[in-house]
Amino acid sequence: MARILLTLTLSFFLGLPLAAPLAAQEVAQTTETDRSATGGAQTLEDIMARQRGEEVPDRARDGDDPDSAGAVAGQLGTLGGSSDSDVWSALRYGTADVTVSSGGPEARVLIQDRGMWWLQFREGPLITYGSWLLIGTLFALALFYLVRGKIMIDGEKTGRTVTRFKFIERFAHWLMAGSFILLGITGLLVLVGRKVIIPTFGHEAFSTIAIASKWVHNNVAWAFMLGLILAFVFWVVHNIPNRTDLKWIKVGGGIFTEGVHPPAKKFNAGQKLIFWSVIILGASISASGLSLLFPFELPMFAKTFAILNQTGLPELFGFGLLQEQLAPHEEMQYAQLWHAIVSFVLMAIIIAHIYIGSVGMEGAFDAMGSGEVEEQWAREHHGLWLDEVQSKEGAPSSGKAKPAE
Amino acid sequence: MKAMYAAFLATVVIAVGAWYALGEIGFSAGDRSSSPAVRLGDS
């Protein structure tokens, strides 16, 4: 019995060093694709695996490019020791020494394989989730209207009005608002053209729509940016968060309950949220828009990714390290995606803003329409601001307030 | 409502001005990927 045990023990330990490489070899054989048929170049299985989004070892990335190929010899012709496959691999992975007669670094990119990922994301999740966001917002507002109805002025109207916004403030608002609506519509038309407009109206119709949309989008963008700057300058002082906002938030601004009117200055917490959303998201949309408007001149994503990597946040959230070297076209693709994603978010916010400023609340539109609001409206929604205005004018109940026409 | 109409008019003026200016400095995607030696469109 002891002899059997000794034999088994010795066999185990002696056999281990031999078995280990054999086991490793087995694993290697199962994980590594047989590329003998292509002389080590990628196979159909590699291509299929890459399309499935799997990691495929790239032989060409290990320095196998035409420059390191053998010299011209015998029947090999002008390519020397390089095969066509080597040339295409090097072009694909950006290791080929490409010379072009015009353009900058972008013109030297002949194959850019991240383009497919971008196209699929753009026509898939971007349109799908973006559309659901907008439809969901409209649905939620319709539901809110059915449940709460129009928010009316609770108290008795005074017949007097107070100047809420000056001409130049309203001008800035409408410059931004009008251009944003145009940009939103034309941006959506361009985005969903291939998937929605071409199948519905045909190529010819979309051609006209796309050309018009592109013209409007590229040129009206400047009006939006100007409006954004003006709005920031005029209203930033009034939109700095303060303690009053907490009271407003605590009761949900009184939006959900009739007769509840929390105190607020010129802008309440809800309006401050809209203001900062417009400024921050609008600035971000403008930055990515400028990057798209001046192709290849304003790359910003490789740098942003490098900064993000330094913070460690991408790894913390399981994204690994972000790409810090991007082809010029990849920069444009990221700019387009970011531009669209942030725009969808801002569009959803603005739809809610349009609702509350029009059909959602009695007297709200006057603030940006004529600039004159009913005093009772001001008392209910911006009580502290009304007190300030009236104390400046020295007459608590009338002052410069004018009778409503 | 005058402010609104004035802003809409300004939007049109700015857009036409931008179109003219951008065209003058040659910053379309086609222009950026091209050169006098490359023929694109009608030219």
Confidence (pLDDT) at A282: 98
Specify if A324 maps to a domain.
Answer: yes
Render pLDDT for A324-345 as a digit per residue (tens, 0 to 9).
Answer: 988 889 999 999 999 999 999 9
A104, part of any domain:
no
Residues of chain B found within 8 Å of residue A216, distances taken between Cβ atoms: 15
pLDDT for A242: 92
Interchain proximity A218–B16, CB inside 8 Å? no
Q: Is residue A176 part of a domain?
A: no
Instruction: Lowest mean pLDDT of A10-14, A137-141, A245-249, A250-254, name the range.
Output: A10-14
Q: In this complex, do A178 and B27 lie within 8 Å of one another by their Cβ atoms?
A: no
* Residue A210 with chain B: CB contacts under 8 Å: none
The segment with the largest mean pLDDT, out of A70-84, A164-178, A387-401, is: A164-178
Q: Which residues in chain A are contacts of B22 at CB distance < 8 A?
A: 218-219, 293
Q: Is B39 on the interface with A (CB under 8 A)?
A: no
Q: How many other CB atoms are found less than 10 A from the CB of residue A7?
A: 10
Q: Which of B6, B16, B32 comes nearest A296 by C-beta? A: B32
For residue A348, pLDDT over 80 is answered with yes
Determine, yes or no, domain membership for A161: yes
Whether residue A380 has pLDDT greater than 50: yes
What total number of domains does chain A contain? 1
What ipTM was assigned to the predicted interfaces of this complex? 0.82
In a domain, A391, yes or no: yes
CB contacts, 8 Å: A102 with chain B: 34-35, 37-38
Residue A74: its H or E element: none
Q: What is the pLDDT of residue A158?
A: 93
Question: Any idea what the Cα angle at residue A383 is, between residues A378 and A387, rounded to 5°?
Answer: 100
Report the pLDDT value the prediction gives residue A290, as an integer from 0 to 100. 94
Residue A190 pLDDT > 90, yes or no? Answer: yes
Distance from CA of A107 to the nearest CA of B (A): 6
Please give the radius of gyration of chain A, using alpha carbons only, rounded to the nearest integer: 32
User: Average pLDDT for residues A114-126, to the nearest whole number?
Assistant: 92
Q: Is residue A291 a part of any domain in this protein?
A: yes
- Here the CATH number for the domain that contains residue A248 is 1.20.950
CB-CB under 8 Å, A218 with B19: yes
The residue range of the domain holding A134 is: 115-165+240-403
pLDDT digits (tens, 9 = 90+) for A142-163: 999 999 999 999 999 999 999 9
Over the range A215-226, which residues count as b (16 or more CB within 10 Å of their CB) and which as e?
Answer: ebbbbbbbbbbb
| DSSP codes, A281-329 | HHHHHHHHHHHHHSTTTS--HHHHHHHHHHHTHHHHTT--SPPS---HH
A350 pLDDT tier (thresholds 50, 70, 90): very high
> Mean of the pLDDT values across residues A233-252?
94
Please indicate whether residue A6 or residue B31 has the higher confidence score (pLDDT).
B31
Name the least confident of A72-76, A223-227, A377-381. A72-76
- Residue A41: which pLDDT band, with cuts at 50, 70 and 90? low
pLDDT at B5 > cutoff 90: yes
pLDDT at A170: 97
Q: Which of A6-10, A58-62, A150-154, A211-215 has the lowest mean pLDDT?
A: A6-10
Both structure tokens of A4 = 């059997």
Res A340: pLDDT: 98
- How far apart (Å, rounded) are the C-alpha atoms in residues B2 and A53? 56
Res B39: pLDDT: 61
Measured on CA atoms in the order A403, B2, B8, B11, is the torsion positive or negative? negative
pLDDT tens-digit map of A96-115: 888 887 767 788 888 887 88
Q: CA–CA separation, A305 vs A314, rounded Å?
A: 9
Do the beta carbons of residue A327 and residue A112 sit within 8 Å? yes
Q: How confident is the model at residue A16 (pLDDT cuts 50, 70, 90)?
A: very low
| Helix, coil or strand: residue A111 | coil
Contact B32 A215 (CB under 8 A): no
- Report helix angle A127-148 to A328-357, nearest 10: 10
Exposed (0-12), middle (13-18) or buried (19+): which is A287, by Cβ within 10 Å? middle
**Among candidates B14, B35, B37 on the partner chain, residue whose Cβ is nearest the Cβ of A223:** B14
Q: Which of A170, A222, A370 sits opposite B14 (nearest CB)?
A: A222
Query: In the predicted model, is pLDDT for residue A136 greater than 70?
Result: yes
Residue A79 has pLDDT above 50, yes or no: yes
| B11 vs A: CB within 8 A | yes
Residue A139 within a domain: yes
DSSP letter for B13, please: H
Closest residue of chain B to A180, computed from CA coordinates: B11
Of A248 and A74, which is predicted with more confidence? A248
Q: What is the pLDDT of residue A168?
A: 97
Whether residue A364 lies inside any domain: the answer is yes
Interchain proximity A175–B10, CB inside 8 Å: yes
The phi, psi pair for A129, rounded to 5°, reads -70, -35
Instruction: Please state the pTM of the whole predicted model.
Output: 0.78
The one-letter code for the residue type at A142 is A
Residues of chain B positioned with their CB less than 8 A from the CB of A167: 2-3
Chain B residues touching A293 at Cβ < 8 A: 22, 27
Residue B36's closest chain A neighbor by CA?
A: A102
Place B33 in a pLDDT band, splitting at 50, 70 and 90: low
- Give residue-wise pLDDT tens across range A158-176: 999 999 999 999 999 999 9
Of A267, A259, A248, A246, the residue nearest A148 (C-alpha): A259
pLDDT exceeds cutoff 90 at A92: no
